[in-house]
């Protein structure tokens, strides 16, 4: 039986990307199609998505618009791909320049509740044959933007007189980052068109407000997170964000499925964004990538200086305050640091100040540049991902593929994917990077010292780098896990 599954999300690489969600929505549906599923995607019609999709044509008018003058469903596809994509055309909501969620002052748009309610409601309409030619059996909603999908489907089932707790399609809600919960004032509930009893602690009410994320967690048939360790962590007070009791109560419906890497995009043997190609068997291109990176960012041309790379949002969640404190350790030992990202003003200023103080050893590019991100991963010896918490993390997986040993905090998906270069793991042939246990300055500093120590042992470094590059975190295994979950639901 071919399973029809609709993924509902707000981003899609390469058309629109603010984080790892876009990489997942590009790769997972495609991997499911390869495994025999009939997978499609539903997205808001943000400007870059409307411009980037091919063969767009109208499918249906949407009767409820949540305040937009008009809204409709269109169907197109990603250029160069077989992935069908539904898009909500509501220009008053989505055709805005800049960030899809924030205005020019970096403040969330005041109508975000309505903008993303429309996304959830449109998904429910597709289940109810808004497209006469296709309707999903499974709807997988990603993060808070799509959190109302299970709620609208539950409400529609009630209208049709289905038994309590049943829906018109089976639903999976995937948490990519529990820290972003889609919280809105209680008075916005009246704009959502949901039954009044849905505003309840057993529903979408969250400490007197609305939480789109909680709606997904409460009403979905199954909940997934993007790594097994993160699935355990969010059931604790420390990482549950106030939702740990709900998550513990649903622990039998909660499963962690590790994200994968799209190796057609992240492959040093074929990557068009890097200075030279290389592979685990032919590594000479790696040094050329390092030299080109040092030249591009005006660092000292030292092939024997270990380069530590950071490609990240510059936020405390990513542990970059800890890394900034440890920067003197890297510089004093003769290493170099390359940072690409944007975020908290204090961190931007701190890293920029360090680059001015150490122009030969520290380079910072504020903003995001996909090609430069590839060049940094290819040219670095170590990629630092010292996150306070990390649902999955994709950067460390890209780093492994490019022979840049990840330096990570043992948390979430980082714990699931990187094996520490302890003496035992080196001896047993398991090591792939550097892992520190406690989120404390001395623990990170000790991991940095261990990276320098291994770098000085040429043979061990090469062996560990080769082993890192041989790890397989492709999407096929993850897609099989999702398909097994769908079959269980059906």
Decide: 295 and 307 in contact? Cβ < 8 Å.
no
Q: How far apart are CA 321 and CA 103, in angstroms?
A: 26
Domain match, 316 and 190 both: no
Chunked mean pLDDT (size 10), the chain, 490 residues: 95 89 93 95 96 95 94 94 94 91 88 97 97 97 98 93 80 95 96 95 96 98 96 95 96 96 93 96 96 97 96 92 96 98 94 97 94 97 96 94 98 96 94 97 97 97 97 94 96
For β-strands 382-385 and 405-409, DSSP reports them as parallel
CA 388-213-216 angle, 5° bins: 130
Domain match, 295 and 401 both: yes
Domain match, 138 and 193 both: yes
Q: Is the dihedral of CA 342, 87, 67, 9 positive or negative?
A: negative
Which strands sit side by side in the sheet containing 4-8, from one edge to the other?
A: 54-61, 72-77, 84-89, 38-44, 4-8, 138-142, 170-175, 222-225, 254-256
Residue 34 lies in a domain: yes
Written in H, E and C, the secondary structure of the chain is: CCCEEEEECCCECCCECCCHHHHHHHHHHHHHHHCCCEEEEEEECCHHHHHHCEEEEEEEECCCCCCCCCCEEEEEECCCCCCEEEEEECHHHHCCCCCCCECCCCCECCCHHHHHHHHHHHHHHHHCCCCCCCCCCEEEEECHHHCCHHHHHHHHHHHCCCCCCCCCCEEEEEECCCCCCCEECHHHHHHCCCCHHHCCCCCCEECCEEEHHHHHHHHCCEEEECCHHHHHHCCCCCCCCCCHHHHHHCHHHEEECCCCECCCCCCCCCCCCCCCCCCCCCCHHHHHHHHHHHHHCCCCCCCCCCEEEEECCECCCCCHHHHHHHHHHHHHCCCEEEEEECECHHHHHHHHHHHHHCCCCEEEEECCCHHHHHHHHHHCCEEEECCCCCCCCCHHHHHHHCCCEEEEECCHHHHHHCCECCHHHHHHCCCCEEEECCCCHHHHHHHHHHHHHHHHCHHHHHHHHHHHHCCCCEHHHHHHHHHHHHHHHC
Residue 274 lies in a domain: no
Domain match, 173 and 319 both: no
Which phi and psi angles does 276 have, rounded to 5°?
A: -155, 145
pLDDT of residue 423: 92
By the 10 Å C-beta count (0-12 exposed, 13-18 middle, 19+ buried), 276 is classed as middle
- In Å, what is the CA distance from 126 to each residue of 42, 154, 173, 266, 316? 9, 14, 17, 33, 39
Domain match, 110 and 246 both: yes
Domain match, 92 and 177 both: yes
According to DSSP, the residues that pair with 336 across neighbouring strands are: 307
Residue 454 lies in a domain: yes
Q: How far apart are CA 487 and CA 490, in angstroms?
A: 5
Residue 165 lies in a domain: yes
For β-strands 38-44 and 84-89, DSSP reports them as parallel
- How many C-alpha atoms does 31 have within 13 Å on its Cβ side? 23
pLDDT of residue 20: 82
pLDDT of residue 18: 85
Residue 244 lies in a domain: yes
Domain match, 120 and 230 both: yes
Domain match, 324 and 339 both: yes
Q: How far apart are CA 485 and CA 490, in angstroms?
A: 9
Decide: 439 and 388 in contact? Cβ < 8 Å.
yes
User: Which residues form the domain of 183?
Assistant: 4-260+475-489
Residue 202 lies in a domain: yes
Look at the chain and report how many structural domains it folds into. 2
**Residue (of 375, 378, 381, 417) closest to 396 by Cα position:** 417
Which phi and psi angles does 82 have, rounded to 5°?
A: -95, 5
Q: How far apart are CA 388 and CA 398, in angstroms?
A: 20
Domain match, 200 and 103 both: yes
Q: How far apart are CA 155 and CA 167, in angstroms?
A: 8
pLDDT of residue 165: 67
pLDDT of residue 161: 83
Residue 273 lies in a domain: no
**CB neighbours (10 Å) of residue 319?**
23
Q: What is the CATH number of the domain that holds 34?
A: 3.40.50.2000
Q: Each residue of 138-164: b (16+ CB within 10 Å) or e? A: bbbbbbbbbbbbbbbbbbbbbeeeeee
Domain match, 13 and 60 both: yes
Residue 266 lies in a domain: no
Domain match, 36 and 125 both: yes
Q: Provide the residue count of the chain.
A: 490
Q: How far apart are CA 483 and CA 297, in angstroms?
A: 44
Decide: 172 and 220 in contact? Cβ < 8 Å.
yes
Q: How far apart are CA 229 and CA 309, in angstroms?
A: 25
Domain match, 43 and 177 both: yes
Q: Which two tokens stand for residue 112?
A: 């975000």
């Amino acid at each position: 039986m071919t399973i029809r599954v609709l993924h509902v999300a707000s981003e899609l690489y390469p058309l629109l990307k603010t984080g790892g969600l876009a990489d997942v929505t590009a790769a997972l549906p495609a991997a499911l199609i390869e495994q025999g599923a009939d997978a499609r995607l539903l997205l808001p019609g943000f400007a870059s998505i409307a411009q980037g999709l091919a063969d767009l044509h109208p499918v249906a008018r949407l009767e409820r618009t949540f305040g937009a003058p008009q809204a409709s469903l269109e169907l197109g596809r990603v250029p160069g791909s077989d992935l069908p994509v539904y898009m909500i055309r509501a220009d008053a909501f989505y055709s805005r320049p800049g960030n899809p969620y924030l205005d020019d002052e970096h403040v969330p748009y005041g109508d975000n509740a309505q903008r993303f309610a429309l996304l959830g409601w449109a998904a429910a309409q597709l289940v109810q044959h808004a497209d006469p030619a296709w309707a999903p059996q499974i709807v997988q909603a990603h993060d808070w933007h799509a959190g109302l999908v299970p709620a609208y489907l539950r409400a529609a089932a009630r209208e049709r007189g289905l038994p309590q707790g049943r829906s018109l399609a089976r639903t999976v809600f995937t948490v990519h980052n529990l820290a972003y919960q889609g919280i809105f004032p209680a008075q916005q509930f009246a704009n959502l068109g949901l039954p009044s009893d849905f505003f309840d602690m057993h529903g979408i009410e969250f400490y007197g407000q609305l939480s789109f994320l909680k709606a997904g967690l409460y009403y979905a048939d199954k909940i997934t997170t993007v790594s097994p360790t993160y699935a355990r962590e969010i059931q604790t007070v420390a990482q549950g964000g106030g939702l740990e009791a709900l998550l513990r109560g649903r622990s039998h419906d909660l499963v962690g499925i590790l994200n994968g890497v799209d190796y057609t995009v992240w492959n040093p043997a074929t990557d068009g964004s890097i200075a030279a190609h290389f592979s685990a068997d032919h590594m000479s291109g790696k040094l050329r990538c390092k030299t080109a990176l040092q030249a591009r960012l005006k660092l000292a041309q030292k092939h024997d200086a270990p380069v530590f790379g950071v490609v990240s949002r510059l936020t405390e969640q990513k542990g970059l305050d800890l890394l900034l404190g440890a920067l003197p350790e890297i510089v004093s030992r003769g290493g170099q640091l390359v940072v690409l990202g944007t975020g908290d003003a204090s961190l931007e200023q701190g890293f920029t100040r360090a680059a001015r103080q150490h122009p030969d050893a520290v380079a910072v590019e504020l903003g995001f540049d996909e090609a430069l991100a590839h060049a940094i991963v290819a040219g670095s010896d170590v990629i630092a991902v010292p996150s306070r918490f990390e649902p999955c993390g994709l950067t460390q997986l890209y780093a492994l593929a490019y022979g840049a040993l990840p330096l990570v905090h043992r948390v979430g998906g980082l714990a699931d994917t990187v094996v520490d270069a302890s003496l035992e793991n080196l001896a047993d042939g398991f090591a792939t990077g550097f892992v520190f246990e406690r989120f404390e300055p001395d623990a990170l500093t000790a991991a940095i010292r261990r990276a320098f120590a291994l770098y000085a042992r040429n043979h061990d470094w090469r062996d560990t780098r080769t082993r890192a590059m041989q790890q397989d975190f492709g999407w096929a295994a993850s897609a099989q896990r999702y398909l097994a979950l769908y079959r269980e639901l059906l």
